[in-house]
Amino acid sequence: MTESTSGTTSTNGTTGFDVETYISNYAGFTRLKRMGFIAGQSTHLKADVLRSAIDEVKKTTNTVLYIELIAMAGDLPGCVRDDAWVESEDKKATQRLEKLENDLSQHKTSLVKESIRMGHNDLGDFHSARGDFATALKCYVRTRDYCTTSKHIITMCLNVIRVSIHMGNFTHVANYIAKAESTDASGSDPILTAQLKVAGGLAQLESKKYKLAARKFLETNPELGSSFNEVLSPQDVAVYGGLCALASFDRAELKSKVIESPTFRTFLELYPQVREAVNDFYHSRYSTCLASLHKLRPDLSLDLHLHDHASQLYEDIRSRALVQYFSPFVTVDMRLMASAFGATVEALEKELAGLITSKQIHARIDSQNKVLHARHADQRTSTFAAAIQMGDDYMRDMTALLLRINLMRADFVVKGSSDSGYGPSKSSRQEARAAAMSRSVDVDAVDGL
């Protein structure tokens, strides 16, 4: 996501979204996939973006994606299917595949592990470039048995993570992140660590675990740079991390992990709108914060990974703002609160009712006077209940202590186990009672066993 100074775009065709600058942040399949996604979301940008995407895909060997983009273009001028190019690329790919498979067979005959590993990697790269990620995944996974160093394992894990993200298989992503992090070399390379954090954050985001996603993005090292632009850009880290933090962090976490974080501040500088929204939220300027986020909403609808989560994130951010706004007060005039949040009193009342029902706000609504009253616990009743409980605990402890003293004075020991294995059994208690009566021990104390 890139900063836009002239406005935003939407599916209705509002201009201002700088596609060229936005797409320049990405490389490989992600670049083309995002262009296709934008074309599918924005009717205004569709023609220009599709023409650019079709021109770029013809520089690759991915004929499958080319055919998809041509089908999406329909009868757009200048978007005519080039059957000759498709046939030529498919023929070259067939020849290339035969050569790679023959080379792998020879490597297996020679039994050289490194050669076999490289052969599987080459096949994986070939299928990945062709857009066949399922076959590429199988090839990359097969290198696992031929990895002899930690670096080999990390390479295998990164390859699997990359194609799994393209496939949308985030279970694989999480598994291979854990495997890569368990290797000895993972902690010594800050760029590798940053890549794994970003991939982990994206996996948590897709699972709608926004707080965990925020933590992953916030822990990303700025040295990430463009090293992972086949998946995400540094601007995406700022947007994803900032929004997830707003939706899930409390004020203390927002201050320590976002605003005062020297590492994440570097990412936020790449996307000033999110930085300002975070600062406005922390300083209780909720109307300004929500207005800034509202301006970003059309851009977020064009994001490949965030568009499905934007509505939920915005709802969570607004709910958290309402809770935080009300927290210091005993009573709040809902008219003033509605003005602060840019809503009608009726709409705000429905929102507050939902938050009260979900126990996010402990309050009552006075619908007639339009006042929100905080619901506080009855301190008097709580104090009496605590005092009674304390007295009961004291009596129980003293009874047990008196029993122990009396038994020690009588030089009496009870041996035996209960049916449950803990404490004296029923028969032992009966024996203790009889013995206590014969030795003038406090019988009532024995009954407390």
pLDDT of residue 382: 76
% of the chain at pLDDT higher than 70: 87
Window from 3-12, 40-49, 180-189 with minimum mean pLDDT: 3-12
Q: Which CATH class is domain 329-374?
A: mainly alpha
Residue 74, judged by CB atoms within 10 A of its CB (0-12, 13-18, 19+), counts as exposed
pLDDT band at residue 439 under the 50/70/90 scheme = low
Residue 53, judged by CB atoms within 10 A of its CB (0-12, 13-18, 19+), counts as buried
pLDDT tens across 150-166, in order?
Answer: 889 999 999 999 999 99
pLDDT of residue 422: 47
| Domain boundaries, given as residue ranges, for the chain | 329-374, 379-447
pLDDT of residue 149: 87
Cβ neighbours around 369 below 10 Å, total = 10
CA distance 321 to 276: 15
Pick 186 or 348 by higher pLDDT: 348
Tokens of 336: 């003033």
Classified as helix, coil or strand, 371 is: strand
- Range 293-322 average pLDDT: 91
| Sheet containing 363-366, strands listed edge to edge, beginning at the edge strand earlier in sequence | 331-333, 371-374, 363-366
pLDDT at residue 26 above 70? Answer: yes
Residue 373: beta bridge partners? 331, 364
Pick 426 or 323 by higher pLDDT: 323
pLDDT band at residue 365 under the 50/70/90 scheme = confident
Classified as helix, coil or strand, 374 is: strand
Tokens of 121: 């990697």
> CA 129, 130, 136, 140 torsion: positive or negative?
negative
- Range 403-422 average pLDDT: 70
pLDDT of residue 388: 92
Question: Considering the entire predicted model, what is its pTM?
Answer: 0.76
Cβ neighbours around 340 below 10 Å, total = 18
pLDDT at residue 436 above 60? Answer: no
Tokens of 173: 């992503």
